[in-house]
């Protein structure tokens, strides 16, 4: 009997422990794969490319769309060379023009002169992505300034059919982008979107697609169009009572997430390589350069988010030379910066013994709200280099398949046992790129405050970046 009770207690204890470890929403397999995408392109293309507008009115004549040299293979090649892992295209923007010959609209490529009405941008791009091993995603604007049914209940049927049509005809769709914008349609009315029905439709026709909107269900907007994630960036969000668009949570909440949010909905950073989303010739000399793109990379991917970089093709239907040059410079900077991990031959030690903590000069109390010297929630490890090295960047990764539980971290740099700098931060998430003024070090210590006392760091590396690239 005693044995029975003891084993019951033991099992119960393990069960309790497992419960404790898992008291947090977890990412799905598709979301985990999404986190590994890091960087991909956004393509804004349509009548606005030809009218120099950002928001078309929906009454533009279809013939205006005539990209005589359209070459989606050029887009995909450039994306691939830039190290982007996918492309998301505006299949339909707010003007309602469909880049494929949709059955549910009279405002499409079919009604245009382009390829005598036989062209299909989605077909060309989805094939080009496949050939280049890139994921393919679509932006389908619910706001439609052309569709005669917009502003009536029937438009929700139109929107559902439109999604079904795209998902049935262009291979597997990795990400679907829902823009929350909701303005007036051609008859002056606004639409009441049936988001629940839209969600159910996608879950039924393509359960593996990750769906983006201000509030997910799978990926959230980061709260700005500058491509910048919060320095604190939780992959959790509370969505109860919120909808995409005007009903979304405040932008600062979207930027940082909710520390104790009930769903795993990570942020995606969307930003354009030019001032506008669509191509405008007068912005040819305003393309962000490699250094600026690298800075955005640090502020998006380096804060545990993904970077969705818009590169709008021009009126020829090609990515402009200036944009592709900037993308190549960006690629080169990433390659040069992160190809040589300076910890390849270093040794790391987890410190689990209180003695070891007390012997050194680090004040753990700053990490421990309860005020005790050593908290169960604090974990630390020491990285020892074989010889002194110059470093100005340390990259930490959290094992997010187990959740996101690290609340803050401190890195203490040592040169021959002398502390030479301390850098503090909050969340880590999938990746945290920490930069600081260049320093010669022989070791460094990482001190973590984890919500559950876990030690779920899954990676640490260090680099020496070109000083001009270090985050300002």
Q: Of these, 21, 26, 33, 181, which contacts ligand FUL (CB under 6 A)? A: 181
Q: Kindly write down the DSSP assignment for every residue of 277-337, as one continuous string.
A: SS--GGGGGG---HHHHHHHHHHHTTBT-EEEEE----TTSS--HHHHHHHHHHHHHHHHH
Q: Kindly write down the DSSP assignment for every residue of 261-280, as one continuous string.
A: -SEE--EEEEEESSSSSS--
**Nearer CB in complex with ligand FUL: 62/214:** 214
Least separation, in Å, of the C-beta of 54 and ligand FUL? 6
Least separation, in Å, of the C-beta of 448 and ligand FUL? 36
Least separation, in Å, of the C-beta of 227 and ligand FUL? 11
**Does the protein bind ligand FUL through residue 270 (CB under 6 A)?**
yes
**Nearer CB in complex with ligand FUL: 54/194:** 54
**Does the protein bind ligand FUL through residue 179 (CB under 6 A)?**
yes
> Sign of the C-alpha dihedral, residues 226, 231, 236, 241?
negative
Least separation, in Å, of the C-beta of 248 and ligand FUL? 11
**Does the protein bind ligand FUL through residue 174 (CB under 6 A)?**
no
**Does the protein bind ligand FUL through residue 95 (CB under 6 A)?**
no
Q: Residue 130: enclosing H or E segment and its boundaries? A: helix 121-131
Task: Classify residue 29 by burial, with Cβ atoms within 10 Å: 0-12, 13-18, 19+.
Answer: exposed
**Does the protein bind ligand FUL through residue 314 (CB under 6 A)?**
no
Tokens of 431: 């990746």
Determine the length of the chain: 472
Angle between helices 321-338 and 72-81 in degrees, nearest 10: 20
> Of the candidates 437, 447, 294, which has an alpha carbon nearest to the alpha carbon of residue 379?
447
**Nearer CB in complex with ligand FUL: 94/110:** 94
**Nearer CB in complex with ligand FUL: 45/100:** 45
Beta bridge pairs of residue 414:
419, 443
**Window 39-68: residues binding ligand FUL (CB under 6 A):** 54
Least separation, in Å, of the C-beta of 270 and ligand FUL? 5
**Nearer CB in complex with ligand FUL: 212/414:** 212
Tokens of 407: 């609340």
Cα(212)–Cα(214) distance, integer angstroms: 7
**Window 271-310: residues binding ligand FUL (CB under 6 A):** 277
Least separation, in Å, of the C-beta of 464 and ligand FUL? 36
**Nearer CB in complex with ligand FUL: 136/414:** 136
**Nearer CB in complex with ligand FUL: 93/303:** 93
* Residues forming the site for ligand FUL (CB under 6 A): 54, 179, 181, 270, 277
């Amino acid at each position: 009997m005693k044995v029975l009770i003891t084993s019951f207690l033991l099992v119960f204890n393990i069960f309790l422990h497992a419960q404790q470890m898992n008291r947090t929403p977890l990412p799905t397999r598709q979301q985990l794969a999404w986190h590994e995408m890091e960087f991909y392109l956004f393509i804004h293309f349509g009548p606005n490319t030809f009218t120099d507008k950002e928001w078309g009115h929906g009454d533009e004549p279809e013939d205006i769309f005539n990209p005589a040299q359209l070459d989606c293979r050029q887009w995909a090649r450039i994306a691939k060379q830039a190290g982007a892992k996918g492309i998301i295209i505006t299949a339909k923007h707010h003007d309602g023009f469909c880049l494929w010959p949709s059955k549910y609209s009279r405002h499409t490529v079919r009604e245009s002169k382009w390829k005598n009405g036989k062209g299909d941008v989605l077909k060309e791009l989805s094939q080009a992505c496949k050939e280049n091993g890139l994921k393919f995603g679509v932006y389908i604007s619910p706001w439609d300034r052309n569709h005669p049914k917009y502003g009536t209940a029937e438009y929700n049927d139109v929107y559902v059919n439109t999604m079904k049509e795209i998902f049935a005809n262009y291979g597997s769709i990795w990400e679907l982008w829902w823009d929350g914008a909701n303005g007036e349609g051609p008859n002056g009315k606004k639409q009441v979107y049936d988001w629940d029905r839209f969600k159910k439709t996608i879950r039924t026709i393509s359960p593996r697609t990750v769906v983006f909107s201000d509030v997910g269900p799978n990926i959230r907007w980061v709260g700005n169009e500058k491509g910048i994630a919060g320095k604190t960036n939780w992959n959790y969000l509370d969505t109860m009572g919120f909808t995409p668009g005007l009903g979304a949570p405040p932008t600062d909440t979207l930027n940082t997430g909710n520390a104790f949010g009930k769903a795993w909905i990570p942020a995606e950073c969307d930003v354009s390589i030019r001032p506008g989303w669509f191509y405008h010739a007068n912005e040819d000399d305003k393309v962000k350069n490699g250094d600026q793109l690298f800075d955005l990379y640090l502020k998006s991917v380096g804060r545990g988010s993904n970077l969705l970089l818009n590169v709008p093709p021009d009126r020829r239907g090609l990515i402009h030379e200036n944009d592709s040059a900037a993308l190549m410079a960006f690629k080169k900077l990433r390659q040069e910066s992160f190809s040589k991990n300076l910890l390849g031959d270093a040794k790391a030690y987890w410190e689990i013994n209180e003695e070891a903590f007390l012997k050194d000069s680090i004040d753990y109390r700053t990490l421990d709200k309860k005020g005790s010297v050593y908290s169960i929630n604090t974990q630390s490890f020491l990285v020892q280099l074989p010889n002194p090295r110059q470093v100005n960047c340390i990259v930490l990764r959290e094992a997010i398949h187990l959740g996101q539980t690290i609340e803050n971290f401190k890195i203490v740099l040592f040169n021959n046992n002398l502390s030479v700098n301390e850098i503090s931060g909050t969340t880590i998430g999938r990746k945290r790129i920490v930069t600081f003024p260049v320093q010669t070090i022989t070791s460094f210590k990482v001190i973590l405050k984890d919500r559950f006392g876990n030690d779920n760091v899954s990676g640490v590396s260090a680099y020496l970046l070109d000083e001009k690239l270090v985050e300002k």
